Amino acid sequence: MIQEKQSIDQGTKYTPVGSKDLFFPTRYSQSFFDQCIACLWKQQCSYWRNPSYNAVRLLFTTIIALLFGMIFWDLGSRRTKQQDLFNAMGSMYTAVVYIGVQNGMSVQPVVSTERTVFYRERAAGMYSALPYAIGQVVIELPYIFLQTVIYGIIVYAMMAFEWTVRKFLWYLFFMYFTLLYFTLYGMMTVALTPNHHIGSIVSSAFYAIWNVFSGFIVPQTRIPIWWRWYYWACPVAWTLYGLFASQYGDVKDSLESGETVEDFVRDYFGFRNDFLGVVAAVIVGIPMLFGFIFALSIKTFNFQKK
């Protein structure tokens, strides 16, 4: 032992002329892009081997779509009474709450498990936080798109909404980004809390608030002026605005009361078809915000127990 220590001391004391200290230009062996590709591939394998999450949510979406289609059969073609419009609004509201909250709640234990693996692999120097977060978000996109297509085709056909390319694509657009922001919101709450149990409690509190200020229970025009700021901050309110205004905001048919559908939608709900561009931009921005907070939280907070 003494001789080995002396050898080490001599080796550190006498270094060859012109030698340099070990230097690594980056902390990780792979570039940022390669880290993102590796994390995305890892998440793809993980999701493909998790049918209890992906297959079940697709099956749940199909069953809910068929159920709503039968309950609200041919609803979209009825535009003669105000009650017909209330029923259509109710069908959209119910679908958003049912499937959206299901997405937000079901993704939380998955992200919690993946985060535990991330802590171990980041400590080993395999990749950084941002590539992991990007991979976790991007892998959800095709599954949510498939979920949206399944729901959209079934419900749009069975409820007999107006079959135009523009309105059908608007319907798919708003449903896709709605399911996306619900999913990313569930991921975000897990990233901000120690585990998915606390995350589900936190997210449920906001689901209740979103429910009240969605614009269905109390329309925007009837919300007290000092509370309307939260209506515009409520993601579900923007979803219902987009879905309903894109389907009924330009309809010139007359109701039994004598006013047109377009006028009633504008006066009662406060929805205008010419505002759809702004609504679409906000709907795209909401999941981007939740995804950014998720990535920032993953990078900043470490709930790993030593």
DSSP assignment of 112-178 equals HHHHHHHHHHHHTTS--HHHHHHHHHHTHHHHHHHHHHHHHHHHHHHHT----HHHHHHHHHHHHHH
What's residue 257's pLDDT?
82
Give the angle subtended at the CA of 233 by the CAs of 231 and 239, to the nearest 5°: 75
What's residue 271's pLDDT?
94
Residue carrying structure tokens 């936080």: 129
Sign of CA dihedral 182, 188, 194, 195: positive
Provide φ and ψ at 163, rounded to 5°. Answer: -85, 80
What's residue 175's pLDDT?
97
Which residue from 133, 60, 62 is spatially nearest to 101, judged by alpha carbons?
Answer: 60
Residues facing 254 on adjacent strands: 260
Residues 6+ apart with CB under 8 A from 265: 85, 244, 245, 248, 249, 251, 271
**What whole-number distance in Å separates Cα of residue 128 and Cα of residue 28?**
8
Helix, strand and coil content of the chain, in percent to the nearest 5, comes to 75, 0, 25
What's residue 306's pLDDT?
59
**What whole-number distance in Å separates Cα of residue 164 and Cα of residue 305?**
55
Q: Which two tokens stand for residue 92?
A: 């959209």
Residues 6+ apart with CB under 8 A from 171: 152, 156, 161, 243, 246, 247
Residue 242, number of CB atoms within 10 A of its CB:
27
Within 13 Å and on the Cβ side, how many CA atoms surround 92? 30
Regions of the chain where pLDDT drops below 70: 1-28, 306
What's residue 10's pLDDT?
54
What's residue 23's pLDDT?
54
What are the DSSP calls for 226-252, one per residue? GGHHHHHH-HHHHHHHHHHHHHHTT--
DSSP-derived secondary structure letter, 305: -
